[in-house]
């Protein structure tokens, strides 16, 4: 016993130290692997791009005969109190994840939002959770609110954040969605459910799938808020409606005949942001570029973007869902990593790996990532949307040509009439 003790004591210090280091490095590696799955030890985060769907929206019934609830303290069309809290928590979660990357300098942030109340409210709350007036940014001791501007009408990238934008093709597509071949399939598969609901509500409005999904969202909202539910809303009906809703959203957001039109604007902007920040871009050019871009979007955009990135799992994208695109530099090369929060921001977000990326890690090579974006960017977006490429100019020219034609017609007819009349007068005179 004595001998062992003595031997232990006699062991050189460096030996123990070395072993502790070795153990620590092991633990460290294991921890790295489980959270980062990082192939390289030295990855530098260079840029964070956040796209989130607005938080919980207050609903009220727009259909007759489906029961209604008093909802006076949650004004319709705005975030609910739960929605506000969640959006603020999202901001805090982003702060804790990127705390070593970001300071509280407002110039490090750039924000854009759909021009819709819930999206703007969401953006404001996320930013408030993310950055506070501290140190040199304090302007009044009674508040730590740090104002960061939110742009709501990006001119350069039309329709980047709004599914509700000036694009006749989308409008037309929306209007005829109930007649889309894929919709007819869904209708055929769930004809029992539809028939049942039409009978129970005494309303043929629910023959339309658009209306059925609105009904479903309304009923789920009522359920989550403890409002009384109609008797017909059984578990089986709930399950069927949620499947209808999921398939409907998948079609609306990702159908191949509309996906590129929906995401061209956002993908163009994404490409521009990423390209500005690549490691081989001139350093002086990069100074004062924002580190975090926040995009607060209305309804469908996030679903469509996930489809375009090839990471959609055909699930319903809930309110508050958030995609983060991280731009990393590893040994002089650029990589993208995609992380996703469903609605629980207290847990680690999941890593999404698109199929076109190297599957051995969570990091996606920048080339593969950008070339996928290119596949969806329509160079002739305006034309595809049914807009005149050069806007009013083309219209003006058309108008001038039309005027000239009409004038010519009028003049020649007048001249002809006058000549004939003259003729007749001469003829009359002769008689
Ligand atoms: C905030 O409080 C500190 C310490 O109480 C004071 O020195 C400072 O002037 C105050 N700043 C403002 C902007 O009121
Ligand atoms: C298309 O429909 C979706 C969902 O019903 C709606 O959010 C969007 O505003 C509509 N867009 C247009 C251009 O009508
Ligand atoms: C639910 O959908 C299935 C078909 O997917 C159908 O057989 C069943 O009758 C539906 N249930 C109700 C209550 O409508
Ligand atoms: C259904 O609607 C029709 C016409 O609006 C009405 O006459 C009928 O009484 C309603 N039935 C039920 C069960 O509400
Ligand atoms: C959907 O519901 C609205 C509101 O009740 C109704 O005006 C509209 O006609 C319905 N759409 C269809 C296609 O039935
Ligand atoms: C990306 O932009 C940030 C913010 O300006 C900058 O700190 C970083 O060095 C840039 N990274 C690369 C790889 O350009
Ligand atoms: C970076 O760009 C600036 C301005 O365009 C230029 O003056 C400078 O020489 C460039 N530096 C390098 C290393 O290319
Ligand atoms: C994928 O990554 C592994 C390890 O980082 C590398 O050896 C391999 O060449 C990569 N494959 C492609 C297609 O980039």
289 and 164 both lie in a single domain: yes
Per-residue pLDDT, 216: 92
Per-residue pLDDT, 416: 81
232 and 372 both lie in a single domain: no
82 and 154 both lie in a single domain: yes
Ligand 7 pocket test, pick from 281, 282, 283 with the greatest ligand atom count within 8 Å of Cβ, gives: 282
* Residue 337 forms part of a structural domain: yes
Q: How far apart are CA 347 and CA 87, in angstroms?
A: 15
* Residue 276 forms part of a structural domain: yes
Coil, strand or helix at 145: strand
Do 331 and 40 touch, CB atoms closer than 8 A? yes
352 and 404 both lie in a single domain: no
221 and 234 both lie in a single domain: yes
140 and 62 both lie in a single domain: yes
268 and 369 both lie in a single domain: yes
Nearest CA to ligand 7 atom 5: 285
Domain of 355? 43-171+255-385
What is the domain-level CATH number for residue 84? 3.40.50.1240
Q: Which of 254, 273, 298 is the last residue of a domain?
A: 254
Coil, strand or helix at 142: coil
405 and 418 both lie in a single domain: yes
117 and 263 both lie in a single domain: yes
The stretches in the chain having pLDDT less than 50 are 1-40, 393
Q: Per-residue pLDDT tens for 172-214?
A: 998 888 888 888 899 999 999 999 999 988 888 888 898 899 8
* Residue 314 forms part of a structural domain: yes
Ligand 1 pocket test, pick from 141, 142, 144 with the greatest ligand atom count within 8 Å of Cβ, gives: 141
Ligand 8 pocket test, pick from 354, 360, 361, 368 with the greatest ligand atom count within 8 Å of Cβ, gives: 360
Q: How far is CA 187 from CA 211, 215, 410, 422, in A?
A: 13, 16, 56, 72
Per-residue pLDDT, 312: 83
From the CA of 45, which ligand is nearest?
6
Per-residue pLDDT, 1: 41
160 and 188 both lie in a single domain: no
Q: How far apart are CA 290 and CA 127, in angstroms?
A: 14
- Model's pTM, two decimal places? 0.78
203 Cβ inside 6 Å of ligand 5:
no
Nearest CA to ligand 6 atom 7: 46
* Residue 176 forms part of a structural domain: no
CA angle 133, 138, 143 (to 5 degrees): 70
208 Cβ inside 6 Å of ligand 5:
yes
Q: How far apart are CA 385 and CA 388, in angstroms?
A: 9
From the CA of 199, which ligand is nearest?
4
163 Cβ inside 6 Å of ligand 2:
yes
Nearest CA to ligand 8 atom 3: 360
Nearest CA to ligand 2 atom 2: 174
Per-residue pLDDT, 50: 97
* Residue 364 forms part of a structural domain: yes
140 Cβ inside 6 Å of ligand 1:
yes
- Residue 276 CA, chain-centre distance (Å), reads 21
Ligand 3 pocket test, pick from 231, 240, 241, 245 with the greatest ligand atom count within 8 Å of Cβ, gives: 240
262 and 144 both lie in a single domain: yes
- Angle at which helix 117-130 crosses helix 81-97, to 10 degrees, equals 40
211 Cβ inside 6 Å of ligand 5:
yes
63 Cβ inside 6 Å of ligand 5:
yes
E strands within 54-189?
109-113, 150-151
Per-residue pLDDT, 34: 36
Our count of domains for the chain comes to 4
Q: Per-residue pLDDT tens for 337-359?
A: 999 999 899 999 999 999 898 76
- What atom of ligand 5 comes closest to residue 211's alpha carbon? 1
Per-residue pLDDT, 179: 85
Tell how far the Cα of 240 is from the centroid of ligand 3, in angstroms.
6
Q: Which two tokens stand for residue 228?
A: 């009384």
């Amino acid at each position: 016993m004595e001998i062992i003790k003595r031997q232990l004591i006699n062991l050189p210090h460096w030996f123990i130290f070395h072993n502790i280091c070795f153990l620590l490095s092991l633990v460290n590696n294991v921890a790295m692997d489980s959270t980062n799955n990082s192939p390289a030890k030295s990855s530098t985060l260079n840029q964070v791009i956040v796209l989130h769907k607005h938080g919980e929206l207050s609903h009220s019934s727009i259909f007759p005969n489906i029961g209604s609830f008093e909802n006076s303290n949650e004004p319709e069309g705005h975030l609910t109190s739960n929605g506000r809290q969640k959006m603020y928590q999202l901001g805090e979660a982003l702060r804790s994840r990127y705390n070593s990357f970001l300071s509280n300098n407002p110039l490090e942030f750039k924000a854009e939002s759909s021009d819709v109340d819930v999206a703007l409210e969401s953006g404001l709350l996320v930013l408030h959770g993310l950055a506070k007036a501290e140190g040199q940014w304090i302007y009044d001791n009674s508040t730590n609110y740090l104002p960061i501007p939110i742009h709501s009408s990006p001119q350069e990238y039309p329709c980047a954040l709004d599914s509700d934008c000036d694009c006749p093709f989308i409008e037309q597509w929306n209007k005829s969605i109930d007649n889309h071949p894929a919709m007819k399939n869904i209708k055929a598969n769930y004809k029992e459910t539809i028939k049942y609901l039409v009978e129970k509500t005494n309303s043929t409005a629910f023959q339309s799938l658009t209306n059925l999904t609105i009904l479903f969202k309304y009923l789920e909202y009522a359920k989550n808020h403890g409002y009384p539910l109609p008797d017909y809303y059984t578990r089986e009906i709930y399950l069927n409606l949620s499947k209808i809703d999921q398939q409907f959203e998948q079609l609306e957001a990702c159908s191949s005949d509309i996906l590129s039109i929906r995401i061209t604007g956002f993908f163009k902007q994404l490409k521009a942001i990423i390209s500005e920040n690549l490691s081989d871009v001139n350093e002086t050019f990069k100074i004062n570029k924002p580190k975090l871009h926040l995009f607060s979007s209305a309804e469908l955009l996030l679903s469509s973007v996930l489809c375009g990135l090839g990471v959609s799992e055909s699930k319903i994208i809930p309110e508050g869902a958030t995609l983060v695109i991280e731009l990393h530099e590893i040994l002089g090369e650029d990589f993208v990593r995609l992380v996703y929060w469903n609605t629980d921001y207290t847990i680690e977000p999941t890593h999404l790996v698109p199929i076109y990326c190297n599957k051995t890690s969570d990091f996606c090579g920048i080339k593969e990532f950008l070339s996928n974006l290119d596949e969806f960017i329509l160079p002739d977006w305006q034309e595809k949307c049914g807009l005149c490429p050069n806007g009013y100019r083309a219209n003006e020219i058309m108008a001038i040509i039309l005027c000239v034609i009409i004038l010519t017609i009028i003049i020649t007819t007048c001249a002809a009439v006058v000549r004939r009349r003259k003729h007749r007068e001469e003829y009359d005179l002769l008689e």
